[in-house]
Each structure stands twice: as structure tokens, then as C-alpha cells.
């Protein structure tokens, strides 16, 4: 899904113009980015949480030349999905104890 697809979904929900949908999506993204920049954690119940993680400095390697390169410490965004979201994406397996494996139920 692209940002344009998301704007289309928001616009289709009500009597909104495309510009209104773009503003809503932009405000949402800007709010998340602003909170992460200031070090805050964003938690959306039933969806997940966004936060930043600190990566330590390290010595990397340029894959083209093989030369060693100093990689500075940095913050990276991190998303942790909620249990509800994980369960929606990975539905529970069907109990196969009472089901004939040669004649599975219709889905």
C-alpha cells in the first residue's frame, strides 16, 4: 500500500475531498515523526507501538572496495506490533484432532 492508496481510503470513508484526505494522512505521519524525533514512544492499542532504538558505533566495510569504514552511533525507528495485530496476520491453526486429513472442512 502506498501513501496515495492510504489517502484514497481515508477520502472514501466520508464526504472528504482528496486534499482533506492528504492533510489527514500528512498530519498523522508528521505527528509520528515528531514524537519519535523528540524521543517519545507512540502506542496505538490493538495496532502496535513505535519507538527509537540506539545503535552503537561500529566499524563497517565498504562492500565495493573492502576498506574499513567507521559507522557512527545513531537512532533508528522501530515498530513492535501488538498481539492483536500479530493474531490477525497469523490466524490460529485449526485443531486437526477431529478432522479427517483426507477430507478437510470447506473454508
Beta bridge partners of 42: 50
State in words which class domain 41-88 has. few secondary structures
Burial class (CB in 10 A: 0-12, 13-18, 19+), 7: buried
- Under 8 Å between Cβ of 73 and 55: yes
Instruction: Give me the residue spans of the domains in the chain.
Output: 1-40, 41-88
List the chain pLDDT tens, one digit each, 107 residues.
999 999 999 999 888 999 999 999 999 999 999 999 999 999 999 999 999 999 999 999 999 999 999 999 999 999 999 999 999 998 876 555 566 666 666 65
Residue 61 near residue 67 (C-beta atoms within 8 A): yes
CA distance 33 to 23: 15
Amino acid at each position: 500500500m502506498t501513501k496515495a492508496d492510504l489517502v484514497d481510503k481515508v477520502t472514501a470513508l466520508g464526504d472528504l475531498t482528496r486534499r482533506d484526505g492528504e492533510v489527514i494522512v500528512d498530519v498523522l505521519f508528521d505527528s509520528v515523526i515528531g514524537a519519535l524525533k523528540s524521543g517519545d514512544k507512540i502506542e496505538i492499542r490493538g495496532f502496535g507501538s513505535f519507538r527509537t532504538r540506539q545503535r552503537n558505533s561500529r566499524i563497517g566495510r565498504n562492500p565495493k572496495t573492502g576498506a574499513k569504514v567507521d559507522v557512527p552511533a545513531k537512532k533508528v525507528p522501530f515498530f513492535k506490533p501488538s498481539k492483536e495485530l500479530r493474531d490477525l496476520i497469523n490466524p490460529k491453526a485449526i485443531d486437526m484432532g477431529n478432522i479427517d486429513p483426507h477430507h478437510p472442512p470447506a473454508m
